[in-house]
Amino acid sequence: MTVLVTGAAGLVGTHVLDALRARGERPRALVRAHSVGTVEAFGAEAVVGDVTDVSAWQRAATDVRAIIHAAALVASHDSLDEFTRVNVGGSRLALEAARRTGAHLIHISTVAVYGRAAVYKGGQQGVSEDYPFQPLPAQDFYASSKRAAEHLLQREAARGGVSVTAIRPNVIYGERDLLFTRRLIANLKRGFLPRVGPGTNHLSCVYAGNVAAAILAALDAPAKPGFRAYNVTRDASPLLTQREFFAAFAEALGRRPFRVRVPVPLIRIGVAVWSALMRLVMPGRYTALGNAAMSFILGENPYSVERIRTELGWTPPFDTRTAIRRAVAETKSPGSARA
């Protein structure tokens, strides 16, 4: 029996495929046609289809012992209906496939389900998996759809007959990341190294390879009926401060950028101005996300990983400096489309 991975051509998915290949497994990947070559390069058997298509699930989820559901709409300007169709609808079909086959469903969720800026008030290690969900802005379509997907999975798992594990990472960086990592590297290549505020906080982010290791820890653990969630929100020690994190990226790139200290009041003014401008285009949505970004860059990582350490024995295999070197090395490889 094999493991089925959705979203296998993405950031988390490719790291999962790589980790499975490293231990001699050949997983199956449910992907769209343009991603077949990517997943095959990582040693997976490709099944062409969409995660919102019932027939695709019927073709892909045969003779599987586990389903790793990483596919999701993350950063786009789509409507709430589209986020719901993909993120909730896809999760529903993943659950139905798991129930039909008896497979363990490992659902890749996000700490955004707790809320955005409000959780930083919990302080360092203050947000465990039992932390109460905070109100979400109506315009935060990604977080709303991922929370709805989790609620669906919890309700269905409570009916019995299926085992669901939810992995909740925070901001993920690493090779093949087209969002956070790519933008940070682009800014550093322009010659600027930002330091926002004192720079002594620890950013709320985690390396994709460490997320993949957590997913494999869940895969290897005995499947138990019901729903269980785990935060996966930090790298191996030593943990780097915001200032050290950005400097490590610059060092790995071989750059000596101009160091720019950005005062907190200036950031707050910038967020306010940017939000006011964006409200003219999409009322309300960007105000909440701008405040969340400010909390991320200035706040201490609030998420506890004690549960996954204790229950699944997860220890992140990569420290942050090693992870950054791996991420940057990909951008320097000949022919890289992401350099």
Question: Quick one: pLDDT at residue 191?
Answer: 83
Task: Enter the pTM of the model.
Answer: 0.90
Once rounded to an integer, what is the mean pLDDT over residues 267-289?
Answer: 47
Spacing of C-alpha 335 from chain mean position = 26
Give the pair of three-digit tokens for residue 259: 């160091």
DSSP at 240: P
pLDDT tens per residue across span 127-183:
999 999 999 988 889 999 999 999 999 999 999 999 999 999 999 999 999 989 998
Closest CA to 218 of 3, 72, 74, 6: 3
Question: Quick one: pLDDT at residue 274?
Answer: 42
Across the chain, mean pLDDT equals 88
Q: Are 240 and 131 in contact (CB under 8 A)?
A: no
68-82, 222-236, 321-335: which range is least confident on average?
321-335
pLDDT bin (cut points 50, 70, 90) of residue 334 is very low
pLDDT tens per residue across span 9-68:
999 999 999 999 999 999 999 999 999 999 999 999 999 999 999 999 999 999 999 999
DSSP at 160: S
Asked if pLDDT for residue 190 goes beyond 90, the answer is no
DSSP at 7: S
Once rounded to an integer, what is the mean pLDDT over residues 79-99?
Answer: 97
DSSP at 17: H
Q: Are 94 and 109 in contact (CB under 8 A)?
A: no
pLDDT tens per residue across span 292-332:
777 888 889 999 999 999 999 999 999 999 999 999 998 76
* In the block, residue with structure tokens 């045969």: 62
Asked if pLDDT for residue 236 goes beyond 60, the answer is yes
- With the C-alpha atoms ordered 225, 228, 234, 238, is the resulting torsion angle positive or negative? negative
Asked if pLDDT for residue 251 goes beyond 90, the answer is yes
Give the pair of three-digit tokens for residue 204: 């709320």
Q: Are 185 and 331 in contact (CB under 8 A)?
A: yes
Q: Are 247 and 205 in contact (CB under 8 A)?
A: no
- H or E element that contains 19: helix 11-22
Asked if pLDDT for residue 75 goes beyond 80, the answer is no
SS3 content of the chain, % helix, strand, coil (to 5): 50, 15, 35
Full set of structural domains in the chain with CATH: 2-177+204-235+301-320 (3.40.50.720)
3-state secondary structure of 232: strand
Rg, Å, the chain Cα set:
20
Question: Quick one: pLDDT at residue 331?
Answer: 76
